[in-house]
Amino acid sequence: MAIFLVYTASLVLILFVISYVFKLFTDTHRRLPPGPRPLPLIGNLLDIAGDLPHRSLARLARRHGPLMTVRLGTVVAVVASSPATAREILQTHNGSITGRVPPDAWRGAGHAAHSVFVLPPRRKWRALRRIGAEHLLSPRLLDNDGRRRLRPILRDAVLGVLDRVSDLASRGEPVEVGRVVFAAMVDMQWRAMFSARLDDGDDGAAASAHVLHDAAREAVAGSLKGNVSDFFPVLAALDVQGLRRRFARLVATVYRFIDEEIDRRMQRRRDAAGGGDGGAGGVNSGDLLDVLLDMSEREKGGGMVAMDRDVMRTFLADMFLATVDTIASTIEWAMAELLQNQESMTKLHEELTNVLGTSKTHVEFDDTVPPGRHQRNTAPPPVPLVPNVAEEAVEIHGHGVIPKGTTVLVNLWAVHRDAEAWPDQPERFLHGADRPLGAATTEFELIPFSAGRRVCLGLPLATRMLHAMVGSLMGRFVWTLPRDVVENGVDMTESLGLTMTMATPLQAIAKSV
């Protein structure tokens, strides 16, 4: 057994050295953008160790330029760190740089096979994006579709958070902002997708909702953790840090909850068909699950995508996981910034009083958009790095050539802190407030949702929820920091998962206005 292990390890090492040397050799013949000198085998991993990757990459970019090459183990990555180079990647050459390499943990958990986040930009990916955009995330559906299904769900999420905060405020207890909003987002997205509540009041349901909360939280927190397997794919089978196994366990829990909803709905459809009420139509809620089940029954997706159980489950998990963490952490960061900037908080209170008057108890999307103007873009960007892959060689004028297969990272964190584009002050993103976002982006200084073909699919939902939630929380309560936090300062350290969250969750004291 020991001999076998030594033999396998030596073989893996030899393969790894050969592939690395081959890569280095061929790279010298390519005109890659400049970058820090790599060490043998590990490349520049030491240059980025010891700090969060978006920060260390931003630091390296200050020395090596806004488009630089780094070697992360055997992976060659080109990093764009300025608005101008982000534009090159996400607009000028976007058609050639939209591939993805799925994280090893996702592949190991079986999630990568159908996930819209990592599918190559081909038919299945396009079809899934279209389904998400048309049946869950379109502005028309969110604002006022014929059945008026989603708007009340969004409003309830805001009102639910206000109730929870009121309750804590009346007891003088601090509010863990991120956690309260996270729970509301779980509930909101579950209702939007399944027309069902996870926690319908009884103790058993509440306990099982907690299991899902915890699994979702851990899955998003751990899903992009630095993994040796991603830097040295030849070692992936060993799963040295156990991240594959861990992510697989968490995703399996999320899948189990989703499967239960699918099974319940299918049973209801069968019952309705058996009862002779005209089949599925009689029980159709018109939610995302019904849309997907209709597709699976209609010639396997009506030609768009073969909607089998695996595709359906992965897609629902994607829509769920993408929502719960992004919105909650953005709101937590926004509140943390406001709580440390009394002047901005006072300004916001005044604005809210003007817009809402004294009778309205909460903010809705319509209140945040001046007539005839774009959605205001004031969210602090919580996704620091966007990973793409060049699907063909691309020459970036004045910087060099990105060879086919190269990982291309856009460092959104660095772009939003670009010293030339942004003054270093808390309200800096208000300067870009009226610029169009997402696919319509023209200015690459402000791209919290990225841009180009893989632009965030959830932008319409996120912008509605962020503004309504922060506006309502600020309009209804006066916020202060707990005494020990005032003394020690708010810990603004980031922790990197699917998004950037606060390493120390924000606690704040609310008092009803």
Residue whose CB is less far from ligand HEM, 45 or 109: 109
Q: Find how far residue 97's CA is from the centre of its chain.
A: 20
The verdict on whether residue 456 carries a ligand-binding annotation is yes
78 binds ligand HEM (CB under 6 A): no
Give the Å distances, CA to CA, from 55 to 26, 33, 160, 417: 29, 20, 36, 11
- Strands 477-480 and 494-496, by their bridges, are unpaired
Sign of CA dihedral 232, 238, 240, 243: positive
Per-residue contact flags (x/-) with ligand HEM for residues 217 to 256, judged by CB under 6 A: ----------------------------------------
Q: Indicate the residue whose CB is closest to ligand HEM.
A: 458
- 426-465 residues in contact with ligand HEM (CB under 6 A) are 448-450, 452, 454-458, 461-462
**Under the criterion CB under 6 A, does residue 81 sit at the interface with ligand HEM?**
no
Does residue 330 bind ligand HEM (CB under 6 A)? yes
Positive/negative CA dihedral, 107, 108, 114, 117: negative
Q: Which of 254, 356, 383, 509 binds ligand HEM (CB under 6 A)?
A: 383
Phi, psi dihedral angles at 439 (to 5 degrees): -60, -30
Q: Which of residues 5-24 bind ligand HEM (CB under 6 A)?
A: none
Q: Name residues contacting ligand HEM, limited to 386-415 (CB under 6 A).
A: 386
For the bound state, the minimum distance from the C-beta of residue 127 to ligand HEM, rounded and expressed in Å, comes to 12
**Complex with ligand HEM: residue 184 or 234, whichever CB lies closer:** 184
Residue 203, number of CB atoms within 10 A of its CB: 8
Among 379, 414, 473, 500, binds ligand HEM (CB under 6 A): 379
Verify binding: residue 380, ligand HEM, rule CB under 6 A: no
Distance of CA 341 to the CA centre of its chain: 27
Size of the site for ligand HEM (CB under 6 A): 28
Q: What's the helix, strand, coil split of the chain in %, to 5?
A: 55, 10, 35
Q: Output the six-digit token pair for 465.
A: 């929820």
Residues 454-513 that bind ligand HEM (CB under 6 A): 454-458, 461-462, 466
Nearest approach in angstroms of CB 470 to ligand HEM is 11
Shortest Å, Cβ 133 to ligand HEM: 9
Question: Smallest distance, Å, CB 132 to ligand HEM?
Answer: 6
Q: Taking a C-beta distance cutoff of 8 angstroms, is the pair 337, 424 a contact? A: no
- Among 75, 116, 389, 502, the residue binding ligand HEM under the rule CB under 6 A is 116
Give the nearer residue to ligand HEM in terms of CB position, either 55 or 467.
467
| Rounded Cα distance, 61 and 413, in Å | 12
Residues 310 and 114: beta-carbon distance below 8 Å: yes
Exposure letters 371-397 (e unless 16+ CB within 10 A, then b): eeeebbbbbbbbbbbbbbbbeeebebe
- Of 247 and 449, which has the nearer Cβ to ligand HEM? 449
Q: Measure the CA–CA gap between 487 and 483, rounded to whole angstroms.
A: 6
Q: Is residue 318 at the binding interface for ligand HEM, with CB under 6 A as the rule? A: yes
Ordered alpha helix ranges (H), 239-308 = 243-274, 288-297, 299-302
Please state, as a whole number, how many other Cβ atoms lie within 10 Å of the Cβ of residue 124: 18
Distance between CA atoms of 13 and 170, rounded to whole angstroms?
62
Residues 132-191 that bind ligand HEM (CB under 6 A): 137
Kindly state the smallest distance separating residue 179's Cβ from ligand HEM, in Å: 17
Q: Which is nearer to ligand HEM, 69 or 323 (CB)?
A: 323
E runs forming strands in 130-253 = 175-176
Residue type, 318: D
Cβ nearer to ligand HEM, comparing 43 with 94: 94
Which positions lie near ligand HEM, rule CB under 6 A?
116-117, 129, 137, 318-319, 322-323, 326-327, 330, 379, 381-383, 386, 448-450, 452, 454-458, 461-462, 466
| Residues contributing to the annotated binding site for heme | 456
